[in-house]
Structure 1
Amino acid sequence: MFESELEVYKIFISHIGENEDEYSIFIEKLQTAHEFEFKNLGILDRIAEKDLQKQINSVGVVIILSGLYNKYKSIIKKQVDIAKELDKPIIVIRPFGMENVPFELEKIATDIVGWNAPCIVHSIEENYITE
């Protein structure tokens, strides 16, 4: 497939308002995926509820990095609540190097995947909703 023929998936990746190691590693992982183009509409320095609402409203899927959940619960929970309110599919990524996902995230997840790029891409493609 030619690069110009690839669909660009608009996604929101959970964040804490600043760059964080797990977030950076995840972005790099997605960037290495073959024949997959994405645009992350999550803006790192914008975490006010109205900003998050606007960011999440424009995407076809929300990705929650569950490794950030316990440490930054209120910020990530706000993102999850907005995604649920907007009926966006929620893909939960297991904590980096671990299998267990917080129960609160497990019960709202559309899908749960690990850090394997092809599995992540497949989940995005399968769960993506178009406007």
Structure 2
Amino acid sequence: MFEDEKDDKIYNLIITKGIDMKNEYGQFCEKLFSKVDFLWKESISGSYAHAGDAFYEKIDGIILLAGIYNDNKELFNDLLAASERYDIPTILVRPYGLEEVPEVLEENATTIVGWNANCIVDSIKSARELM
């Protein structure tokens, strides 16, 4: 990486968690950790429906892991509502090993990405520009 391309920003992300039989959350975090030049932290709330302005105003992106959607629809709905209310970009990650995503998520996502670490990081960095 060239020195003038260095990105020192620490991206504040919400990553969907919940019932996750295939450990997509763990695999996704491993992808982010593999990019040592990408700085990020995760913000977690006990209830995304009730988290307030102070919580959401610092969020740079919401990561929606499409593979866990069916078992966690309420969580996804809360995060989609927050995304719209606070103008936060959503990065939809396809189910691991599959191309299709739930239509409701596709319609509301800022961008859709697969499981390539470089593509994930690029999507997070550029999501705000796509809104």
Separation of aligned partners in 1, 2:128 and 2:11: 8
Q: Deviations over 1:64-85 (max 9, x none)?
A: 1111111211122111111111
The 10-residue stretch of structure 1 (47-56 or 101-110) with the greater mean CA deviation from structure 2? 47-56
Once the two structures are superposed, the pairs formed by residues 87-126 of structure 1 within 5 Å of their partners are 87-126=87-126
Q: Are 1:32 and 2:31 counterparts?
A: no
Uncovered stretches (5+) of structure 2, i.e. residues with no partner:
none
TM-score scaled by structure 1? 0.82
Q: Deviations over 1:41-69 (max 9, x none)?
A: 124xx135223765433211111111111
Identity across the alignment (%): 32
* Equivalent pair of 1:10/1:41 in contact (CA under 8 Å): yes
* Equivalent pair of 1:16/1:76 in contact (CA under 8 Å): no
Once the two structures are superposed, the pairs formed by residues 55-74 of structure 1 within 5 Å of their partners are 55-74=55-74
Q: Residue 18 of structure 2: which of 16, 28, 47 is its match?
A: 16
Separation of aligned partners in 1, 2:52 and 2:19: 10
* Equivalent pair of 1:56/1:62 in contact (CA under 8 Å): no
Change (3 A) 1:118 1:49: same
* Equivalent pair of 2:19/2:68 in contact (CA under 8 Å): no
* Equivalent pair of 1:67/1:96 in contact (CA under 8 Å): yes
Alignment length (residue pairs): 125
Give, as a single letter, the amino acid of the residue that structure 2 aligns with 1:101.
V
Change (3 A) 1:120 1:10: same
* Equivalent pair of 2:19/2:71 in contact (CA under 8 Å): no
Uncovered stretches (5+) of structure 1, i.e. residues with no partner:
none
* Equivalent pair of 2:83/2:90 in contact (CA under 8 Å): yes
Give, as a single letter, the amino acid of the residue that structure 1 aligns with 2:49.
E
TM-score scaled by structure 2? 0.82
Q: Are 1:41 and 2:39 counterparts?
A: no
Separation of aligned partners in 1, 2:44 and 2:30: 15
Change (3 A) 1:5 1:123: closer
* Equivalent pair of 1:11/1:41 in contact (CA under 8 Å): yes
C-alpha root-mean-square deviation of aligned residues, in Å?
Answer: 2.6
Separation of aligned partners in 1, 2:79 and 2:52: 7
